[in-house]
A and B are shown apart, each in its own frame.
Chain A
Amino acid sequence: MKNFKLLLLLLILTVFVTFVSGCKGGEEEEDGVKLIKIWVHKSEAEDEGKTYLAIQDNFNDLELTTTDGTLVRMRIEFKNSADTLQTAINAEVLAGGLPDIVALDSPNVAAYVDAGILTNVDTYMTQAEIDDFVDSAIEQGTIDNKIYALFAMDAPVGLYYNKTLLQQASIEPGTLENPWSWNDLFDAMTTLKDEGLTYKFKGNLGFGGDEGAMYLYSSLIYSAGGLFVGPNGLVSGYLDSEESVNGLKVVERIFELDSADSEPWLYNGVNTDALAAGEVAFEMYGPWGINSIKKNYPEFATQYDIMPVPVYEDNLGVKGSLVGGCGSWGFGITTAATNTEAAAIALKYLTGADSSELLYQSIGTFPTHESVLENNISFQSGPLKSLADILINASSPRPILVNYPKLTLAFSKIIAYIEANSGTEDYDLLNYIQTQIYSVDN
């Protein structure tokens, strides 16, 4: 009997410990202090995570207060990955355990606002503070003319090119005022090839999983005058419009050229620094390439530059508008925040000019503040200046709609379909686009 009681006690203790260990203890707040909890999608071990900790320490050292004198303190909580963060948000939306601020990828803003997860922050921002952000950063966080999320970093897309090679072939690169069309790019590649120089193009089509296609190539649609989604929130009638399909046909042309020649036009190797290594002449990519070249190929730093992404050109030679992709992770205040003013103070610091610059220095993403882009000496010349100009003048965020996860996957599949099937007997781009539209709109 004694043994049985002991066993019973052990059993109860085990169950109790199991349940209690699953519950996270809340942190006590002192009187007059508001602790703002922030969930981020990175781990403490990553450079970005370390930077968030530095931002947290800098903020806490400032001892900022709300209008009623409450001291605002910041605490970063690491969720280690985008998927884990998303799962935590999904769970806590129902359980009511959301933190004050969450990290979010820009295309998620619409869905979070639609679900009532985010609070708009306009009232806590001065016009000067809004104006200091580059337009694309504000656009990414704005739904129905209200700002719901702020961004400390951005990642404009540009066409990296080997300056030396272009000079050798007497080719003038594209500029913001006179951007290259895709035809100009193909012509340049032909010229380089004819002169026996490196001519290949690295499209980075597999970059970033399914999201990479939208990030790097959404400009194809916009530049051709098309749209992904209409004011009715539907893709049908927009992604399959003549303009959008014309934009997509540029991808068709790329693969046609690639397969028509005995030597491939597209780079299909694994070297992430193929441009610096002299394996390609052009590369479509975000700002990370600059840091990578600086670190791995410092001698190449003066031999390359970045031009705006090529624009669409119709059969009559009329060029489309200049629109480059961009977008990154930002932060929004949740509706669970009990002291929105305190949360706004933390959010503004977290996405402010100082933090923006710190993130640039640490992970190479672009600052979202014009003051930083104008004052930081790094952005006054070379590829950094070129990309900064692209960000300020010619970058547009990814489409904003609640069904974005469906749209980005559909777009990625359309690009993959063109790559796998163009030139074959079964190839039917319009029909494939219609199938994808069905899955997005339904």
Chain B
Amino acid sequence: MNQAKIQRANIRFFGKSYNKSEIFAGLLFTLPVLILGVIFIILPIIVSLGYAFTDANLLKLDQVQIVGFSQFSRIFSDPLLLIAFKNTLRFVVTVVPLQLTLSLVLALILNSRIKLNTFFRWAFFIPVMLSLAITSMLWMNLLNEESGLINSILMSLGFDEQTFLSNPDRALNIIIIISAWQGAGYQMLIFLSGLKNIPSSLYEAAEIDGANSFNRFKHVTLPMIKPTFSFVIITMLIGAFRLFTQPLIMTKGGPLDSTMTMSYYIYQQGIMFRDVGYSSAVALIYTIFLAAITLTIRKVLDKDNTV
């Protein structure tokens, strides 16, 4: 009898049995996030998708006309968009290897049981805990050409005053270095957890076989953290392609568009220039591009991991 009652109170879903009251409670608890997610994520995506086919202006969203694919045709003749795309690609191909190497090196250092391990772990991770806006402001002050600390040090050492963020040849490189520094701590922790999961017996066996530390790294460490690489590279790539906060706060896409990135360009068109239709069209094409890149890389890395 009791068994039958329990059976009635359970619901089977995708082969698993769930208690009715637990499902109800679970749904209630997820309701706030579902509502907020729909309002602030799902709906804006759908609306933005729709705006891509209109002439929507931020101040005239009640007077929207459907213009078909004309916003998309603008994309391919926009010289500034090409600059933004090139800058973004340059950022991605530079920052990803840089941050990857930096985070792996930091993880290896922390995994080697050095003294003050906890201190270094915190020190490397602190930039991740600070918001991008704060670190950007901090670097802006340090790099201030007239009164910044870096120029003061350079000048006290006898060097000339240097231009940093106002120099079109240097601004993006500076943002690359800052971004690599800022994000490396997070990737370092992921690598560190991957390193901790490598059984020590593998290193012991390699040592018995006469492998030196480089060979141990090459033949034991690297193959064992390959799955971690896949995750780290994909998250880094997505983050790099979305570069926005640093140009917004530090350079406003300048000087002379040298730090104009795709995300900042989408923001500039939609919010500053109020051209929501065009901004949405660019965002849509860019999202498709990012999805294709991510899926391709994931496939390549997954295939590599299964070999």
Task: Give Cα A89–Cα B58 distance, bound, in whole angstroms.
Answer: 10
- The total of chain A residues at the interface (CB under 8 A) is 34
Cβ of A392 under 8 Å from chain B: no
Could you say which interface size class chain B belongs to?
A: 20 to 34
**Residues 1 to 49 of chain B near chain A (Cβ within 8 Å):** 21, 25, 28-29, 31-32, 35
Which candidate, B211-219, B239-247, B251-259, is the interface stretch facing chain A? B251-259
Residues of B within 8 A of A206 (CB): 166
Residues of A within 8 A of B57 (CB): 115
Task: Give Cα A111–Cα B57 distance, bound, in whole angstroms.
Answer: 10
Task: Give Cα A438–Cα B256 distance, bound, in whole angstroms.
Answer: 15
Closest to A434 in B: B79
**Residues 54 to 104 of chain A near chain B (Cβ within 8 Å):** 89-90, 93-94
Cβ of A117 under 8 Å from chain B: yes
Task: Give Cα A93–Cα B57 distance, bound, in whole angstroms.
Answer: 11
Interface of B is mostly: loop
**Residues 208 to 265 of chain B near chain A (Cβ within 8 Å):** 252, 254-257
Closest to A270 in B: B146
Residues of B within 8 A of A409 (CB): 272
Q: A8-B28, A18-B32, A270-B147 are in contact. Are A112 and B256 (CB under 8 A)?
A: no
Are the C-beta atoms of A413 and B256 separated by less than 8 Å?
Answer: yes
Task: Give Cα A438–Cα B82 distance, bound, in whole angstroms.
Answer: 13
Cβ of B168 under 8 Å from chain A: yes
* Min distance, Cβ A4 to any Cβ of chain B, angstroms: 7
**Residues 1 to 52 of chain A near chain B (Cβ within 8 Å):** 4, 7-8, 11, 14-15, 18
Cβ of B293 under 8 Å from chain A: no
Residues of B within 8 A of A15 (CB): 31-32, 35
Task: Give Cα A405–Cα B270 distance, bound, in whole angstroms.
Answer: 12
Are the C-beta atoms of B256 and A417 separated by less than 8 Å?
Answer: yes
Are the C-beta atoms of B32 and A94 separated by less than 8 Å?
Answer: no
Q: A14-B32, A18-B32 are in contact. Are A111 and B59 (CB under 8 A)?
A: yes
8 residue pairs, one from A and one from B, having the closest CB atoms: A115-B59, A270-B146, A115-B60, A94-B61, A439-B80, A90-B58, A435-B79, A15-B32
- Chain B positions within 8 Å of A, measured between CB atoms, are 21, 25, 28-29, 31-32, 35, 57-62, 74, 78-80, 146-147, 166, 168, 252, 254-257, 271-274
- Chain A positions within 8 Å of B, measured between CB atoms, are 4, 7-8, 11, 14-15, 18, 89-90, 93-94, 111-112, 114-117, 206, 209-210, 269-270, 403, 405-406, 409, 413, 416-417, 420, 435, 438-439, 442
